[in-house]
Amino acid sequence: MGYYLILDIGGTKTTGALFSEEGRPVKDLFIVAPSKTYEGCDAVFDNTVSVGREVLEKTGVEAAGLKGIGAAAPGPLDYNTGVIINVPLMGWKDFPLGPKLEKEFGVPVRLDNDGNLGALAEQRLGVAEGASSVVYMTVSTGCGGGIVINGEVYRGFTGSAGELGHMSIDINGIPCNCGANGCLELYASGTAMNRRMLRDMKNGVKSLAFEEIAYDPERISGKILGNAAEAGDEYALAFLQEEGRYLGAGLANYFNLFDPEVFVLGGGITHLKKWFYGEMMRTIERCAVSAVSPDRVRFSELNDKVVVYGAYCLISEYTDTVRL
Ligand SMILES: [Zn+2]
């Protein structure tokens, strides 16, 4: 019997769990700690290690019982060497995260970014289980994603494939940090929705959504839209239809490019699907070159655990393949 230590290192928090060989989180235990970003490269690394140690301690498993470590880390990273190329908020520049974790715990380590791991998890054991090709996109603060083709994560020539949020849907649109204009995530992400709500509130738009937060700009969130839409608020309903059009435009592009068997949408946005789904599907129908049957567009059920499950798939398949 062996175990896999799973670490999901995010910009704000780090999650650790121990998975059995059957792919179950031991004791259903998930340790969540702040990532100590902005405290320097060693502080973030030491914090990651201590989350891992805490997982072992609380599950009563010795490091000797580990078969490997699967980790999700921010990119850009070199999937083959486990080196983080440049993540300023963690102080990681050419930082050999994989090799350092290997040295610390004495077991093989594989790491990848959360978009690729999300796609892997959905294709291996999520709502797209067994599909030959899958495109996965998570819509939360931004829009991240990953692509699985013929059962393998598609990383591209330089390892940077799957930047779904930076597909431009308007070359004259809003300027993006990436250098382009009109990237999908500037319209469809949670951040973009909040920005539009703030603009509308400042322009004097009246809505139950804004009444709920007493027109306090600090309290704008996707949740108020859902509540208002549920109550039949016209502004919220129209807003979420517009969201459906943005998402649909993006998805139509991905269907035209990859023709995936299944597209999986995840992230916080899925809570609002009831109100944007129809318009999203109509937009796909209008914009995709080939017909897309509704069962090919699915919503993630792994949700906030998708990356952790993906990291489990990554390391367990690796150790099985190399037969350690
Ligand atoms: Zn961009």
Query: Structure pTM?
Result: 0.95
DSSP three-state, residue 287? helix
Distance 178 CA to ligand 1 centre (A): 4
Please indicate, yes or no, whether residues 81 and 157 belong to a single structural domain of this protein.
no
Determine the residue type at 120: L
Q: How far is the CA of 195 from the centre of ligand 1 (A)?
A: 16
Rounded distance from Cα 156 to ligand 1 centre (Å): 18
End-to-end CA separation in angstroms for the chain: 13
- Residue 321 has a pLDDT of 85
Q: Is 6 in a helix, a strand, or coil?
A: strand
Where residue 44 sits, what CATH number does that domain have? 3.30.420.40
What DSSP letter does each residue of 75-98 carry, written as one string? SSEETTTTEEEEEGGGTEEEE-HH
Note whether 158 and 283 are same-domain residues.
yes
Q: Same domain for 134 and 231?
A: yes
In this structure, the answer to whether residues 232 and 267 fall within a common structural domain is: yes
State the residue for tokens 């090799």. Answer: 99
Q: Which domain holds residue 212?
A: 127-301
Same domain assignment for residues 178 and 277:
yes
d(CA 177, ligand 1 centre) in Å: 6
CA angle 302, 270, 152 (to 5 degrees): 45
| Gap from CA of 3 to ligand 1 centroid (Å) | 39
Using the mean position of ligand 1's atoms as its centre, give its distance from the Cα of residue 273 in Å: 24
* Rounded-to-integer distance, Cα 188 and Cα 198, Å: 15
- Residue 135 included in any domain: yes
193 Cα: distance to centroid of ligand 1 (angstroms): 16
Distance 266 CA to ligand 1 centre (A): 19
Cβ–Cβ < 8 Å for 162, 154:
yes
Look-up: residue for tokens 């891992």?
52
Both 136 and 77 in one domain: the answer is: no
Contact 148, 263 (CB under 8 A): no
Give dist(CA 303, CA 138) in Å, integer: 9
Report yes or no on 18 lying in a domain. yes
List residues bridging with 134 in a β-sheet: 148, 262
Number of domains in the chain: 2
Helices (H), the chain: 41-59, 97-105, 114-125, 185-188, 190-202, 208-212, 222-230, 234-258, 273-287, 306-322
pLDDT (0 to 100) of residue 264: 98
Q: Which pLDDT score, from 0 to 100, does residue 323 have?
A: 55
SS3 content of the chain, % helix, strand, coil (to 5): 50, 20, 30
Q: Is 13 helix (H, G, I), strand (E, B) or coil?
A: strand
pLDDT computed for residue 61 by the predictor: 94
* Spatial distance between the Cα atoms of 155 and 81, rounded to a whole number of angstroms: 14
Report yes or no: 147 and 154 within 8 Å, Cβ to Cβ. Answer: yes
| Average pLDDT by stretches of 10, the chain with 324 residues | 94 95 95 93 96 97 94 93 94 97 97 97 98 97 96 94 95 96 97 97 97 96 95 98 98 98 96 97 98 98 95 96 65
Regarding whether 214 and 97 lie in a shared domain, the answer is: no
